[in-house]
Amino acid sequence: MLESTAGGGIVRNLEAWYAAQADVPGMEVHRDPDITWMLSNGAASANSGVSLRFSSANAGRRIDQILKYYAEHGRAAGFWVDHEATPADIEELLKQRGLRCRKRFPGMWYDLARLSKIAIPQGIRILQTPHHSIYLRYPHPYFGPITTAIRRHELNRLAHLAAQWPKRFFDFVALATDNRPVGACSMFLDDAVAGFYDVGVLEHERNQGIGGGMIAHALRFAREHGATQAVLLASGMGCGIYRRVGFREVCQIAYWYRALKR
């Protein structure tokens, strides 16, 4: 029962996260009754849809419509397929249209009534990002050096969300003693659920407890701001860290992708 309820919470937070970005320059969000999907000038995975709830009668036609729209705008396309996606043969329909399952990501859940005691490494300060221009001088721990159009878009997106949703979107940075960013993560609050996105630690700073300390700090912050649970989709590299902090896997969500046909 928990797995089904918590898994649904992951999808709802992801859907709300997409919707919150509708006014970000360079992004376009469609909230249709049967899917929420986004067109973005940023990372390829942002050009994707979530909460697929198509009917058996029109699923193929709706997928074709969305794929055509992405292609007309020069974008690849992806779909996040959760355990409640419909119709039952949705993955076969995607496969028939040239999409492939890139990975099944662990959906992870955390009960904020029981906060874990995770120490922050000595010499590390974790705070809300004071100003995103810091990443014009230092690499962003998740996106990397801001040297491409896509990465500039992603940085502008974070700054825009911080200004637009000051009570729902929170961007954290882990600073070393020389005020150099070594870790970062974003958190979006929706209906008492804190969703974590864009979590990263610089490669040469990993395995020192920075990621776990940063997430634990953000979880305490989330509870202080009214959240009762936290959710995220974990990469293979981050899964162990989240488990040590106290997250548990409650589902898997498949990412289906088709590259842009030239």
Q: Which residues pair with 201 in a beta bridge?
A: 183
Q: pTM of this prediction?
A: 0.94
d(Cα 249, Cα 154) in Å, to the nearest integer? 28
What is the band of 100 on the pLDDT scale with cuts at 50, 70, 90? very high
CATH numbers and ranges of domains, the chain: 2-105+253-258 (no CATH), 111-251 (3.40.630.30)
Counting residues of the chain whose pLDDT is more than 90, the rounded percentage is 93
Q: Give tens-digit pLDDT for 23-54.
A: 999 999 999 999 999 999 999 899 999 999 99
What's the average model confidence in pLDDT over 198-206?
96
Q: Is the pLDDT of residue 220 over 80?
A: yes
d(Cα 190, Cα 17) in Å, to the nearest integer? 8
Q: Are strands 125-128 and 169-175 parallel, antiparallel or unpaired?
A: antiparallel
Q: Which among 195, 190, 173, 192 is positioned nearest to 182, based on CA atoms?
A: 173
Q: Check if the beta carbon of residue 187 is closer than 8 Å to that of residue 170.
A: yes
What is the band of 236 on the pLDDT scale with cuts at 50, 70, 90? confident
For the chain, give the mean pLDDT.
95
In eight-state DSSP terms, residue 13 is: H
d(Cα 247, Cα 227) in Å, to the nearest integer? 15
Q: Is the pLDDT of residue 240 over 80?
A: yes
Residue 6 is predicted with a pLDDT of 83
Q: Is the pLDDT of residue 5 over 90?
A: no
Q: List the strands of the sheet with 35-40, edge to edge.
A: 27-32, 35-40, 48-50, 77-81, 248-258, 100-111, 229-233, 193-201, 181-190, 169-175, 125-128
What is the band of 208 on the pLDDT scale with cuts at 50, 70, 90? very high
Integer CA distances (angstroms), 203 to 106, 144, 183, 216, in order: 22, 10, 10, 20
Q: Provide the residue count of the chain.
A: 262
Q: Give tens-digit pLDDT for 44-96.
A: 899 999 999 999 999 999 999 999 999 999 999 999 999 999 999 999 999 99
Q: What is the torsion angle, in degrees rounded to the nearest 10, for the CA atoms of residue 16, residue 19, residue 24 and residue 28?
A: 140
Scored b (16 or more CB within 10 A) or e, 115-131 reads eeebebbeebebeebee
